[in-house]
Structures are given as C-alpha cells and as structure tokens.
Amino acid sequence: MAKRVCPYWLGYWLLNPLRRLIHNPDQILDPHVTRGMTVLDIGSAMGFFTLPLAHLVGPQGRVICVDVQEKMLHALQNRAQKAQLADRIITRACEPTSLGLADFYGQIDFALAFAVVHEVPDVPNFFQEVSNLLKPEAGCLLAEPKGHVSAQDFEATLVLAGHAGLTSVSHPLITWSRTALLKKGKA
Ligand SMILES: C[S@@+](CC[C@H](N)C(=O)[O-])C[C@H]1O[C@@H](n2cnc3c(N)ncnc32)[C@H](O)[C@@H]1O
C-alpha cells in the first residue's frame, strides 16, 4: 500500500508556535549541532527545525533541506529569507524513493529525520542514502510519531537502519516520539 505523505496544509500546522512546548527545537538539537557544521534536514516541510538548525550552525555552516513537496520548500525559502538565514540554507526537492543528494555524499556532520521515515516508501534505500551522506561516526537523529508508528514497527525500522551501517546508540527523550540517535560505523 502506498504510504501517505503529510498534506501541504499540515505544513502550516507543524509551524504552530505552541508546538515548541512539546518539541523545543533548541533542546532537541543543541546536543548534536555545533557551529560550522553541514547538517541535513530530511523531510523538512516548511522548516520548523530548519531555522533553528541554521542558527545553530552559524554563518559558516550549511543546512541542506530535502523534501518531496516543492510547495513545502517554497514556503521554507520564504521563511528563511524573512529570517535573513537564506544564505546558509539549501533546498532540494526529491523523489519519494530517493533523496537524490549524491553530490553531498560523505559531507554531512549531522542529519535530522523527524516524522518522515513512516512516509518513505523505500526505507532500506533511505537509510543507505543517509549512510552514504554522513561522515564517518556522524549522527542521525530519528524521531517518529508514537501515534503513527508502533513500538514494533519502530524496532523494524531500526533493524533496516542497522543493515545500512547505522547503529542506534541512544534514545533521546522527545515527547510523543519514538527516537533513536543513529551513528554511522559504530558496532
Ligand atoms: C510529518 S512532516 C514532518 C516535517 C518536519 N520534519 C517536522 O517535524 O516539522 C513529513 C515531511 O516529510 C516529507 N516527505 C514525505 N516522504 C518523503 C520522502 N520520501 N523523502 C523526503 N521527504 C519526504 C513530506 O513532504 C513532509 O514535508
């Protein structure tokens, strides 16, 4: 069965400032992101996490955002312009079955995949591409909504990540979410 992609209108709902009460971007991202990093926001939508990531990486850093919906990325670009952060944010539209970011292979210091993997049709290829994108020992924070993803399905997802060389090293506490910090190349 085809997986359901988050509708465009929900992109605005995801930006609701009240969401910060349960998903505080600084608290979630601070432990993983430092200035100058090149980070990847996978399934960024309109950029709830992208702008905080852009602040954290600073003027020398880059945030690469990839999403299947161009309209989401246009809204993100507008928000980035208004926040004067557009110069450190790169947006790319992708196909459902491939992130299409081969030109960034081996360059990513940290990747965020927040509430996106349950929408991805080819999860093994998704994790293989994330693994190719990360530098050795770089991390990917995976968070999936408990309302959509059962504990059993999340465990199955982690197995697929492991097949791509991404090992779960911890489970950061994030409200309403099943999480794993995946590291490339950790046994
Ligand atoms: C539920 S939203 C989460 C948005 C954002 N990460 C957040 O937490 O605010 C999922 C996003 O992933 C995107 N998406 C769905 N399937 C995708 C795929 N195969 N590759 C890249 N992005 C995808 C959707 O278009 C949508 O913008």
| Confidence tier at 1 by pLDDT (50, 70, 90) | low
pLDDT at position 187 is 61
Under 8 Å between Cβ of 51 and 83? yes
To the nearest whole number, what is the mean pLDDT of the chain?
96
Residue 150 domain-assigned (yes or no): yes
pLDDT at position 3 is 81
Residue 3 domain-assigned (yes or no): no
Residue 8 domain-assigned (yes or no): no
Report the candidate in 43, 99, 88 with the shortest Cα–Cα distance to residue 63: 88
Ligand 1 pocket, residues with Cβ under 6 angstroms: 5-6, 14, 42-45, 48-49, 66-69, 72, 94, 96, 114-116, 119-120
pLDDT single digits (tens) 6-39: 999 999 999 999 999 999 999 999 999 999 999 9
Claim: this prediction has a pTM higher than 0.95: yes
Instruction: Give the integer Cα–Cα distance in Å for 104 and 72.
Output: 21
pLDDT single digits (tens) 145-156: 999 999 999 999
CATH number of 167's domain: 3.40.50.150
Structural domain that includes position 50? 35-184
Domain count, the chain: 1
Q: Is the pLDDT of residue 75 over 70?
A: yes
Residue 1 domain-assigned (yes or no): no
Residue 7 domain-assigned (yes or no): no
To test the pocket of ligand 1, the residue of 119, 129, 140 to mutate (highest count of ligand atoms within 8 Å of its CB) is: 119
Tell which atom from ligand 1 comes closest to the C-alpha of 48. 9
Residue 18 domain-assigned (yes or no): no
Residue 16 domain-assigned (yes or no): no
Instruction: Give the integer Cα–Cα distance in Å for 105 and 146.
Output: 31
| Confidence tier at 130 by pLDDT (50, 70, 90) | very high
